Structure formats: structure tokens, C-alpha cells
Amino acid sequence: MNNLLNDEAVAARVLEHIRQRSTDVGDEVWREPVANYLSEERLVRELAVLRRTATPFCPSAALPEPGSYVARVAAGTPLLVVRDGDGVVRAFRNACRHRGTELADGAGCAKAFVCRYHGWTYRLDGRLQHIPHADGFPGVERGAHGLTAVAAEERHGLVFVTQEPGDAETPVWQDLPELITADQRLLSSGANEVEVNWKIYLEGFLEGYHIRSTHPQSFYPYGYDNLTLVERSGRNSRITFPFRRIEKLADVPSAERRIDGLLTYVYHLFPNTFVTVLSHHTNLVVLEPLTLGRTRFVIYTLTNRGADADAAATAQRDAAFVNDTGAAEDLAIVLSIQRSISSGANQMFTFGKFETAITHFHRNLRRALGEAASA
């Protein structure tokens, strides 16, 4: 059951924090060993958590019609996700059943997947359709050599993939509201690799304690320093970053308050995904660990829900501003942390009571790893 505040309650809580000059505060200080960011053995186990957890792979809008597909590496595994001829989303390990060649790359639309090595051909539902010179493969049954499927679920405008069984926790989507609606248009997608540990990158999304010092010319003039709402929903979190212009709602009757354009919602979907709802655009962000010190940042940008015909241009301008200012500043900070992480200066990273969403993440990651879930 979704237990997040509705927009009216969010507005009331933000306005109360403004009046009180306060913010949401947790009840503990968390100390995370720096060794957990430097251990190859722990990274292997973290990747195993990602593979056995239902994690968003792409928005549904990236698969608009039968034959639409997205192929990329997720948690170290090449995957191919496609909408089949019946409109059902399916996910497969992106490997030909003959010699293991990847069948697709990037995104596109296809009637079938043909291996570029020897021409073995697969239907959109994964069944092996054709083996060239099949007489050379006596005893090879096409029905037993379809693509290897992994679990796929389409929920809340997202495609979730679970690569391996074993996670007994409630699926993350059961704790979430509708995140991306059918009227939201996909504007762009992309990926880039950055020289930083995935958890260091992730932590930067989860608190507003840094706004004034990190973003003095970009976000701070429009927002607040250290004023956020932090809510938990199962293993997930939602962090609300209000803009100063929300103060105009103070004289508006509670039932008539509308928060569109007055705040940013950041939904953290455990373990490695974010949906960020900004003034004029929505992002799906997936952090894919590559090595201890390297992460692939996968991003899909969409219009916001209920957008009109002119929304695309406004959304693209909004996204460009965020990417060129605040996102670039955040990246500089996490790269700086990564450069110093092996210096020996810190044995622990200390997360205070303003950084409770980070604490929530680390506690749930420890639990998923079978470690003691305490600071």
C-alpha cells in the first residue's frame, strides 16, 4: 500500500517547516565504513542484490509499439527487453543460443532478432524461429533453444526486471504510486560512464543538506538550504525539495493548493534507481555499477504528466538547465569524494540526522546482503 503523503499534505508540511525554519530530521547518526566502498568482494555481492531485486530497466514509453526494444547491460548482465506482438513486455539474456553473440544493441524496433554471426533468428517472444542450414544441427530442437528469459513486470509506467530468484522482500512497485503516466512523452535517452562508485553517486540524490554550499548559483537561489521532506515506502524513499515560490500557497486554502512547478520529488527505488519529477520534466535514472570506481549513468527524460502540446520544448530547456548547472556541480563533488576515498583520511563516512534517506538505503542494502542492519 502506498503510504506517501498526498500533494496537499506535502504542501502543508513544507509550509510548516518554512514557518518554523526546520526540516525533516531522523533519529540517528549512521556511520558507513569506507571499506564498504573499496571492497571488490562486497561489490560482487551488491551486484548479486541488484540481479535478484526487481529494478527498473526503462520506462514503458521507451517501448511504444510491438517490436520496440532496449538492449543494455544491467548489473553486469547484457539484457534485451522487447514488447512482443501481443503488446506484452518480455526480457531475455541478450545472447544467441548458438554461440552467445549479443543479438541487439541500444534501442530500436524489429520484427525479429537475427544473430549477425550465423543468422539464427528469434521471434519477439524469444522462440527460435530459424537455423540456417539446420541439417548441420541434428538433434537440436528449436523449442529448447529459445532466448533465455528473465522476469519482467510493467508497473507504474516502468519496466521492472528481475534477473535471478531469491529476493523474498515485497516487490518495490507494491509500495509506489503511479510514477510515469501514459500521457508522458519520452524526449531523450542516453548513458555515460563516470569515475565514481555507484553508492557515492547515489547518496548525492538523497539529501538537501548540501544545497547552499554546492549549488550557490544554480539551485539555492530558487530553493532552500537543508529543507526537505523525507518519506519511506518499504525499501524506497521519496525526498521533496521545495522551491521558494511555494510560499505563495500560504494564503491559498488547503484544498485548492497545487504543487506543480513548486517542488521537486525524488523517488529512490531500491537499490539503484531514481524517478525525479522536476518543474517541467521527469527523469528515470539508473546507476549501473561497472567497477568499484566506475558507474554507468543511464537516463531517460520525459515530459511531465498532463503536459500540453508545447511541453516538449519547455521540458528540454528545463532538463538542459539542470544538466548544465546542478547536475554538473553534483558530479564534481562525487568525483572529488572518489579521488580521496583511498587516502586513509576517513575510516567511516558519517551521515547525520538530515541525511536519513541515505541511512535508509544503507540499512536496507545491509539487510539484502545478509549483514547486520545497524550503524
Share of the chain above pLDDT 70, in %: 98
List the Cα angle 11/254/252 in 5-degree steps. Answer: 95
Which tens digit of pLDDT belongs to each residue from 251-266?
999 999 999 999 999 9
**pLDDT confidence band for 170 (50 / 70 / 90):** confident
The SS3 of residue 158 is strand
pLDDT(175) > 80: no
Which tens digit of pLDDT belongs to each residue from 200-220?
999 999 999 999 999 988 888
Going from the C-alpha of 268 to that of each of 120, 249, 311, the distances in angstroms are 40, 27, 25
Give pTM, 2 decimals: 0.95
Amino acid identity, residue 14? V
pLDDT(324) > 90: no
Predicted local distance difference test score (pLDDT) of residue 296? 98
Assess if CATH 3.90.380.10 describes domain 7-52+182-369.
yes
The residue ranges of every structural domain in the chain are: 7-52+182-369, 55-162
Stretch 146-171: mean pLDDT, rounded?
A: 92
Which tens digit of pLDDT belongs to each residue from 269-318?
999 999 999 988 999 999 999 999 999 999 999 999 877 767 788 878 87
Strand positions, DSSP E, the chain: 30-33, 55-59, 68-74, 77-83, 89-93, 106-109, 113-114, 121-122, 128-130, 149-155, 158-162, 186-194, 229-233, 236-242, 263-269, 273-277, 281-291, 294-303, 348-351
Q: Report the C-alpha gap between 161 and 130 in whole angstroms.
A: 27
Dihedral pair phi/psi, residue 65, rounded to 5°: -150, 165
pLDDT(374) > 80: no
pLDDT(94) > 70: yes
Q: Report the C-alpha gap between 307 and 287 in whole angstroms.
A: 27
The SS3 of residue 201 is helix
pLDDT(49) > 60: yes
Which tens digit of pLDDT belongs to each residue from 2-27?
689 999 999 999 999 999 999 999 99
Q: What distance lies between CA 286 and its chain's CA centroid? A: 4
Amino acid identity, residue 49? V
**pLDDT confidence band for 375 (50 / 70 / 90):** low
Stretch 338-351: mean pLDDT, rounded?
A: 97
Predicted local distance difference test score (pLDDT) of residue 308? 73
The single residue listed with the C-alpha cell 554546492 is 214
**In CATH, what class is 55-162?**
mainly beta
Going from the C-alpha of 76 to that of each of 98, 203, 297, the distances in angstroms are 21, 21, 14
Region of residue 100 (phi > 0: left; psi between -120 and 50: alpha; otherwise: beta): left
Which tens digit of pLDDT belongs to each residue from 54-67?
999 999 999 999 99
Dihedral pair phi/psi, residue 282, rounded to 5°: -125, 140
Going from the C-alpha of 197 to that of each of 40, 42, 45, 346, the distances in angstroms are 11, 12, 15, 16
User: Half-sphere exposure of 294 toward its Cβ, with a 13 Å CA cutoff?
Assistant: 5
Q: Report the C-alpha gap between 278 and 322 in whole angstroms.
A: 9
Q: Which of 42-46, 241-245, 315-319, 348-352 has the lowest mean pLDDT?
A: 315-319
Predicted local distance difference test score (pLDDT) of residue 2? 65
List the Cα angle 321/232/374 in 5-degree steps. Answer: 110
| Among the listed residues 142, 147, 81, the one whose alpha carbon sits nearest the alpha carbon of residue 115 | 147
pLDDT(169) > 80: no
Predicted local distance difference test score (pLDDT) of residue 1? 44
